[in-house]
Every structure is written in structure tokens, then in C-alpha cells.
Amino acid sequence: MASAADQLAANINLGVFSKATELKRRIWFALGALIVYRLGTFITLPGIDPVAMQDVMRAQAGGVLGLFDVFAGGALSRMSIFALNIMPYISAAIIIQLLASVSPALESLKKEGVTGRIKMNQYTRYLTVAITALQAIGIATGLEGSTASSGLPVVMTPGPFFIATTVITLVGGTMFLVWLGEQISERGIGQGISLLIFAGIVAGLPSAIASTLELGRTGALSPILIALGVVGAVVLVAVVVFVEQAQRRILVQYPKRQQGNKVFGGEASHIPLKLNTSGVIPPIFASSLLLLPLTIAGFQGNAVVGANGVPTTAGGEGFLNTMGALLGRGQPLYLFLYAVLIIFFAFFYTAVVFNPSDTAENLRKYGGFIPGIRPGKNTADYLDFVLTRLTLIGGIYLVVVCLLPEYLVSRMSTPFAIGGTSLMIVVNVTLNTMQQVQAHLLAHQYEGLLKKSRLRGKR
């Protein structure tokens, strides 16, 4: 049965939206910030030959760099000032979160509330600078030794000055995006960091749609295949929306207690456990690990990318060459290891972000209990039992969503630009942003009702 808030949200119309000046101001601010971000992705680093850089990145389309370039909206292939995008910050945040689960000092800091959260964010920024600097040094060094297929060098004037300017520019660009994301979260609408990644992924959609239509016009793709692709994409989006919003609600009962002449408690609550607790972290970790050998082999000139991005062994021999051929996107070994790693990271990350023992202890501390389950260890075992089965279902869902686009791209020659990971990011960001918009509209409507009834607080 829908709640009163859901029913009220369903009645919100354009008239309410037109009067919500604060919401409109936030939306315009977020759009302006995203435009600034997209403009920055076209500003190339000094000393880079854009044509040679595009040729080198074309050969790396099936590796880790190709995956990150999708998240960066093409900024990496253009080697712009935002080439590293916001990914170092996300890596730093994940590392700090993992350390907080094993370090007593960080764990206690995490429980200090607002003060602890501010310090954790500061540590995350420091780590972001370090990670970005290391990645920038590696990129600058790698670019100096890279040449296009025509023999043109990517770096026009190599040397210490180029490395220094590249590191400073990339670090500054990433930290600017961190600041811009925080401004969107504070003064705009939605989660700023997620919106930046969302903008980068969606930026590649127009060219993908245009290339698909062009292939259909020339007869390279049949209209039936294109229609099936559209229907499959709609069904896949519907599945992602359903699963990402699905949750198991565990009933929690609080006993009644009497203080003086008043009786408190006795109400019921619930613990919401998402079906996909780990989110998009498992696919990102799994794909990064599997595509790393192919990327290294491609830089060393050992792997040659053939049709549909599948590497061949024609460019040389060696261990990296063999690994690149076996772990090419769409290969059976790649798909099998990808599925295994996704499920592994799903269980691993869920264990990090949700501790059944801590949850059971907090329930016992505040007098809550799950009906039919004894407080303490039995409650922790029950939560772990439920969470394990939810994570297994969520892991299987991640495998299906991520492997289906991989199969279509590698076997059916379909030019889909958005994979399963990117699709989940786009859907999650869209859902979260729309929920925030709805919350602002509800708050505005409640304020209007209060003004009309002329309700005033006590003075």
C-alpha cells in the first residue's frame, strides 16, 4: 500500500515545479557545473599531438584505458586536463573505507559523527593527491615512449619539463573535479561525484546511436538486430531499476517501557537490506584486474587487437601476449573469470560495508529485537544468513547484467557503448537524482500548505 508521501509525490504537477524557485536554482547550477566539466574534457594537455594520441588510444580500446575512457567521457583518449577524471578520488574513498574496517583508529574516527566524517574526507583528499600524482607520472612516462601507427610521437617535446607540467595539470584537474563535485552536492541537485561520472558515460551515447543507425543504413546491421537491441536495452534497464530498488525488510520490534505515568516504545521498525548491497564496485574491480594484462601487453607492442576488440597473437610472443589473447574481451576464459571475480568482490565488499555483529549489538543496546530471534549472537547469525543469500542473488544479477553486453559486443558486432557497469551507474544516478528532486518538490508543497493555513510556531 502506497504511503502518504508517495501519493503526494504522484500528485506533483508542473505548476508546483514552476513555483519551486530553490529547486530550479539548484538544477541550473548543476547543469552549469556539468557544462564546465564537459568543456574541460576537450582541453588537451600541453605538448601532446592529438592525432597521434587518438591513434594510440584506438589500439587500447579493449583494455583498462578503454574502460576508464568510457567513464571519463573521452577525456582520456583526448588526453585532456581531466584525463584521470574523478576515478582517483573514488579509488581513495574505497581504500579509506576498507582501511576503516581493519584499522581501529580509523574505525573509531568513523563513529565520531560529523567531526570524524570531516577528517575522513580530508584523509581521502590527501590520498587522492598521492594516487593522482602516481598515475600522472606513469601516464607521462608512458606517453613519452608511445608512437602512433604512422610513426609520429605522441609527445612533441619530451623531457622533465613535460613530465612536471603533465603531473601538475592532471593533479590540478582531478582536484578541481573533486571540488566541483562537492559544489554540485552542496549547491546543486544530486550527488556531485556520481553526476560527473554519469555525464561522462552519457556523453558517448549520441555517437553510439549515430554509428548504429549508420551501420543499419549501410546494411552492416540488419534492422531486426537493431530492433532486438533496442528491446533488449529497455528490458535490461527495467531489470536494473527493479533490482536496484529491491530490498529485504527485516522486522524489528521495540518493547514498551514505562517512565512515570507515560509509556514509551512498543513500535515496530525494519532493517532494509538491499538486494545488491555492493553496487557497481564488484564489476569495476573485476574488469580492472582482467583488462590489466591486455593493457600492459598493448603498451609493449605484444598484443594486436583484432576484429571486435579481440586480441590476437600476431604481434609477437611471450607471456603477456598469451595472457592478452586468452583474456580478450568476449573470450570464454575472460567471461568465466569475470563472473567469478564479480561474485567474489560482491561478497567481499558487502562484508566490508555491513557488519551483522555490530548491527545486532546496536539492536540489543537500544532494546530492539527481531521477532522469533534471540538478541546477540543469534541475531547476528540470522542477519548474516539473510545477507549471504541476498548477496548471492545480487552477485548473479551483476554477472548477468555485465556479461550480456560483453557477449553482444564481442560475438554479434553490436556497437553498444554502454556496458553493464556503465548502465548500472547511469540508472542509479538517475534514480537518486529523481528522488532528490521529488524530495525538494514535496518540501516545497508542504511549505505552501503551511503558509496557506497560516500555521505559526509558539513564541
Contact criterion met (CB below 8 Å) for 410 and 308: yes
The per-residue pLDDT for 9 is 46
Distance of CA 297 to the CA centre of its chain: 27
Helices 377-411 and 356-365: crossing angle in degrees, nearest 10, is 140
The per-residue pLDDT for 102 is 78
pLDDT tens track, the chain, 459 positions: 444 444 444 444 455 556 678 888 888 999 999 999 999 999 888 888 888 888 887 776 655 677 777 777 788 888 889 988 888 898 888 888 888 877 888 878 877 777 888 888 899 999 999 999 998 898 888 888 778 777 788 888 888 899 999 999 999 999 999 999 999 988 888 888 888 888 888 888 887 788 778 877 887 777 887 788 788 788 888 888 898 888 888 888 877 665 666 655 567 788 888 888 888 888 888 877 776 666 665 555 434 444 444 444 444 445 666 666 666 666 778 788 888 989 998 998 888 888 888 888 888 887 788 888 888 888 889 999 999 999 999 999 999 888 877 766 665 555 555 677 788 888 888 888 888 888 877 776 666 555 555 545 444
The per-residue pLDDT for 168 is 94
Considering only CA atoms, which of 248, 202, 240 is closest in space to residue 398? 240
The per-residue pLDDT for 431 is 85
The per-residue pLDDT for 159 is 87
**Cα-based angle 103, 106, 108 (whole degrees, multiple of 5):** 105
The per-residue pLDDT for 402 is 84
Contact criterion met (CB below 8 Å) for 131 and 92: yes
Contact criterion met (CB below 8 Å) for 344 and 359: no
The per-residue pLDDT for 361 is 86
Give pTM, 2 decimals: 0.77
Considering only CA atoms, which of 376, 373, 370 is closest in space to residue 250? 370
Q: Are strands 256-259 and 247-253 parallel, antiparallel or unpaired?
A: unpaired
The per-residue pLDDT for 446 is 61
What DSSP letter does each residue of 194-205 carry, written as one string? HHHHHHHHHTTH
CATH architecture assignment, domain 18-204: Orthogonal Bundle (1.10)
Domain regions of the chain by residue span: 18-204, 246-416
- Determine how many CB atoms are found less than 10 A away from the CB of residue 111: 10
The per-residue pLDDT for 32 is 93
Contact criterion met (CB below 8 Å) for 320 and 297: yes
Q: What's domain 246-416's superfamily in CATH?
A: SecY subunit domain (1.10.3370.10)
